[in-house]
Amino acid sequence: SMTIRGEGSNQTSIQQGLVKSWIQMSPNTTNDSFNVGSTTDNGTGDQTMTFSTNMGNGNYCFGACPSDHTNDARHIFQDGANPSTTACRYRTTNQSNSDTDSSFQTMSVTGDLA
């Protein structure tokens, strides 16, 4: 635990600002990751990323970016119906809001670890 001077004269807690989990992947292939135990393909455009170390609560922040010119993947969003401390389920859609797989994607999670 460490606090440093941030912007201006404000104090910033370092552990609060760190990414707690991230992944770079192609379909069903993890290219590199941190704090990711596994991924599950639940169907077209529907995947789950399981954390190696659980999050402290389901109120973490999920950010993602698809990159796909074949399936026109535009959005990746967290399935927020049942936020979990053990895993993050997310969906990928195209510009018509139809589920689609993305050939390349990156995701990160910030928040408190358990």
pLDDT digits (tens, 9 = 90+) for 18-60: 899 999 988 778 999 999 999 999 999 888 999 999 999 988 9
pLDDT value, residue 71: 60
Rounded Cα gap, residues 109 and 85, in angstroms: 11
Instruction: Count the alpha carbons within 13 Å of 36 in the hemisphere toward its beta carbon.
Output: 23
Which residues, at least 6 apart from 35, have a Cβ–Cβ distance to it below 8 Å?
20, 21, 22, 51, 52, 53
Cβ contacts of 21 within 8 Å, gap of 6 or more: 33, 34, 35, 36, 49, 51, 52, 55, 88, 108, 109
Could you read off the pLDDT of 89-114 as tens digits, one per residue? Answer: 888 888 888 888 888 888 999 988 98
Q: What pTM was estimated for this model as a whole?
A: 0.81
